[in-house]
Amino acid sequence: MDILTPAMDHSSFDRRKMGLVILICAAQVLVQIGAFFWPALLPGMMLLWNLSNSEAGWITAIFYGAYMLSVPLLVTLTDRLDPKSVYLFGVGATIFGHLAFGVYAEGFWSAMAARALAGFGWAGTYMTGLKLLSDLVDARTMSRATAGHAASIGVSGALSFATGDLIASYAGWEVAFIAASVSAIIAWAIVFLGVPNQSIPVTSLPETKSLYDFRPVLKNRSAMAYSIAYGIHTLEMSAVRGWAIAFLSYVAISRDEAGHLIAPAIIATTLGLIGAVASVTGNEISIRFGRRKLIQTAMVTSILLGGSIGFIGSLSYLTATILLVIYGIAIWLDSSSLTAGSAGTADPARRGQTLAVHSMMGYAGGFIGPIIIGWTLDLAGGMSGKSWGLAFMIVAVLNAFALIIFWRLRPKELEGDRRP
């Protein structure tokens, strides 16, 4: 009996860890559900507030910009403080950000302020949630745990489009954002009640004076390679998430096909769900056939599609839909592989710092992506097949530069990955 007890205890411990992983992923879905209500409602809100393409792009981008500026502080703190406390703080900011948008937003500047607060909150929940999760698993299972976490983010992002559009259609856009705030409150309660507090071993911590010294992370060649690629990945993803509905709406109206088509919000939701599956599938391919090979293949594919989607997709709604879905698969295919690569090649004592840099670089791209599209559309004279083509082509060119850098840095594979 005594011989069996350790095995039974170990099995029970594994089940408890898996339960906590599922709990954290469920909370991530609830806290992020309102993140993309704004791009889901973008065409109507542009008309309601008389916004230019550039202004609409800025309201989308400020979410990522606030995240980018906040994440080094908040995520790095998880190397010193219990990640749970930082996570709950971030969820609290998300609650007030969505609530402020639903109650007070009435134009460009008030919308910017509310979306910035929501972005600040997301900085305290996204990578902090991953840090919570990564502390529960070993090195060999971290890649799959990270993929599961990324999938939960992808699912919530996808559902965000359909949920925002549905609630706004029946109850108004204000109620949609208030509902997002309520969803985040539920997430806060789940983590507060269900996730145990963690103590941070003193011996594993960097010295206090070096907590925000990111030079050791920047010298980590492999982690930086994955982070640079993640930056362009998020740039592409935010550009597509932020402008997909506007692009499809333009094609439908310009081709006089608006009356008998699948709604753009449904297509954007489907795109997000397929993207979540592609992200997890891509990580499995990375494990079996090589992480670098998968990432480089995904980047080349997205370069080719990004360079053509605006020109060819403008020809018909069906063409735009098909190309957008394929483009989305290519973009999302390496999402989990990149984040797992950065986390897996990090110094364990500096994993919070590494994820902070990784996330900051990613969301710097996320900040730039929507603005590039909006500015290009305005500079090219407004929405047209030519302007959409130029906008997405600029994204493709930036991706090509990132691919060259990634190839030159040649990052390490992870423990458990097949060595190509």
Average pLDDT of the segment spanning 241-245 = 89
Residues 112 and 269: their CA atoms lie apart, in Å, by 24
pLDDT exceeds 70 at position 414: yes
Q: 175: which 2 tokens?
A: 């109620």
Residues 326 and 121: their CA atoms lie apart, in Å, by 31
Average pLDDT of the segment spanning 140-168 = 78
Residue 168, in any domain of the structure? yes
Residues 162 and 260: their CA atoms lie apart, in Å, by 18
Q: Give the model confidence (pLDDT) of 160-192 as tens digits.
A: 888 998 999 999 999 999 999 999 999 999 999
Residue 200, in any domain of the structure? no
Residue 369, in any domain of the structure? yes
Inter-CA distances, 287 with 141, 345, 409, 419, Å: 11, 14, 20, 9
Q: Domain count of the chain? A: 1
pLDDT of residue 140: 60
pLDDT of residue 13: 46
pLDDT of residue 260: 59
Q: Regarding predicted confidence, which is higher, 19 or 385?
A: 385
pLDDT of residue 107: 94
- Distance in angstroms between the alpha carbons of the first and the last residue of the chain: 45
The reported pTM is 0.76
CA-based nearest residue to 373, from 398, 405, 404, 338: 398
Residue 4, in any domain of the structure? no
Q: Give the model confidence (pLDDT) of 28-52 as tens digits.
A: 889 989 988 998 898 899 999 999 9
Residues 139 and 43: their CA atoms lie apart, in Å, by 45
Task: Give the DSSP letter of residue 125.
Answer: T
Residue 397, in any domain of the structure? yes
Judging by beta carbons within 10 Å of its beta carbon (0-12, 13-18, 19+), is residue 401 exposed, middle or buried?
A: exposed
Residue 177, in any domain of the structure? yes
Give the pLDDT band (50/70/90) at residue 208. Answer: very low
For the domain that residue 65 is a member of, what is the CATH number? 1.20.1250.20
Q: Residue 146, SS3? A: helix
pLDDT of residue 40: 86
**Nearest-10 crossing angle of helices 83-104, 173-194:** 160
Residue 393, in any domain of the structure? yes
CA-based nearest residue to 100, from 84, 128, 87, 119: 119
Which residue range(s) make up the domain with 238? 13-195+218-409
Residues 182 and 165: their CA atoms lie apart, in Å, by 17
